[in-house]
Structure 1
Amino acid sequence: MALRRRVLPTVEDTEALGRELSAELAAGDLVVLDGPLGAGKTALTRGIAAGLGVQGRVSSPTFIIARQHRAGAGARSLPLVHVDAYRLGGDLDELDALDLDTDLQHAVVVVEWGLGVVEHLADRHLRVRLSREPDSDVRTADWEWVQ
């Protein structure tokens, strides 16, 4: 699938893109989010979670590294594991301790700061690169499935 791009003028637009992307996701899918601080990675994850129908509030997992969100009651609902790989600093032992490959069998796994760290966990992944215009809330998302 070709690289796709969208300009996201508001946080709500970023969340809406996440809901849209969730329609392409199934249990076992890995989503790798890349972009600088404030680019919208957690907002995009909130949208993905809403589209998957997960339970609970989605916030940055910075201090706990990974949060698990159970599936809701809806027919389309899937569990979500939300990971912040920033604090891992490339520590593959700590990454292995998270046991994400097991989670991938039953959930959608979204990894913030995951580029170059987690791609080996799946045969393919959805890579989303987010950027933010200087001194603005306008963000741009580029995404594609990578084999």
Structure 2
Amino acid sequence: MMWEFATTTAEQTRQLARNLAAYLRAGDLIVLTGELGAGKTTFTQGLGASLGVRPGIISPTFVLVRIHPNLPAGPNPGGPDLVHVDAYRLGSAAEIDDIDLENTMDSSVTVVEWGADRVEHLAASRLEIDLVRATGGPSRPVQAPAGAAGPAAAPASSGDGTIDGTVDGTFDGEPFGDGDDDEPRLLRLRAIGPRWDGVDFAALAAVSDPVE
């Protein structure tokens, strides 16, 4: 089944994600699809805020994976960690397996940007969320700075909660990923697998009300 939600500001997109977080538990997989600037990272920021994980969520375009641990003193102590993945440079399910997401999935909510046709084998159930900009154009590829490792480069743990590729997710100090422009967006949510049988996400539509 599919649900559709309209937002007009970045904050409303975050609020919709905060509402969704109430449905989530460790082991859940979310696959985000949308062109550059569609709001994938903005959406993930909202999830993280409600899950009560370490802040500072930006697109993990070049580090591939960022792990945001649950904060014992946060709003959801004892909740799952958030594992945030950018699969844009990963061309296959086999390359997804190389970053060992299986090791964190049981204790985390895993969010994968650009994950369609790459991560479906990781879990029997998942939420697929498409974000569409009302004024969006064609998808634009993200180019790595000169010297950045290609998709086949094996990531290594940095020791600070991330699994790093070659750079820290920024270029000239600016994070790669989605902008926060306040413009209309349509979010389409598909619930797949037995985990979501009978779950009604219609209540997420409350995001259409003004967010204070």
Residues 82-93 of structure 1: pairs in structure 2 closer than 5 A: 82-90=84-92, 92-93=93-94
Equivalent residue for 2:83?
A: 81
Q: CA deviation at 1:76?
A: 5.6
Residues 84-123 of structure 1: pairs in structure 2 closer than 5 A: 84-90=86-92, 92-123=93-124
Q: CA deviation at 1:35?
A: 1.0
Deviations along 1:2-45, one digit per CA (max 9) or x if unpaired, are 31111110000110011011111100000000111111000000
Contact 1:72 1:78 in 2 (8 A): no
Equivalent residue for 2:183?
A: 137
Aligned length: 145
Contact 1:53 1:76 in 2 (8 A): no
Moved more, 99-108 or 62-71: 99-108
Contact 2:16 2:46 in 1 (8 A): yes
RMSD: 1.4
Equivalent residue for 2:210?
A: none
Deviations along 1:104-135, one digit per CA (max 9) or x if unpaired, are 11100000000111011001001101100116
The 1-side partners of 2:124 and 2:94 are apart by 20
Counterpart AA for 1:21: L
Higher fraction of helix? 1
Contact 1:6 1:140 in 2 (8 A): yes
The 2-side partners of 1:66 and 1:6 are apart by 28
The 2-side partners of 1:76 and 1:18 are apart by 19
Equivalent residue for 1:8?
A: 7
Q: CA deviation at 1:75?
A: 3.0
Contact 2:49 2:55 in 1 (8 A): no
Residues 21-32 of structure 1: pairs in structure 2 closer than 5 A: 21-32=20-31
Equivalent residue for 2:196?
A: none
The gaps in structure 2 that reach 5 residues or longer are 137-181, 194-212
Question: Normalised by the size of structure 1, how large is the TM-score?
Answer: 0.93
> Counterpart of 2:97 in 1: which secondary structure?
helix
Q: CA deviation at 1:94?
A: 2.6
The 2-side partners of 1:76 and 1:141 are apart by 29
Larger radius of gyration: 2
Question: Normalised by the size of structure 2, how large is the TM-score?
Answer: 0.65
The gaps in structure 1 that reach 5 residues or longer are none
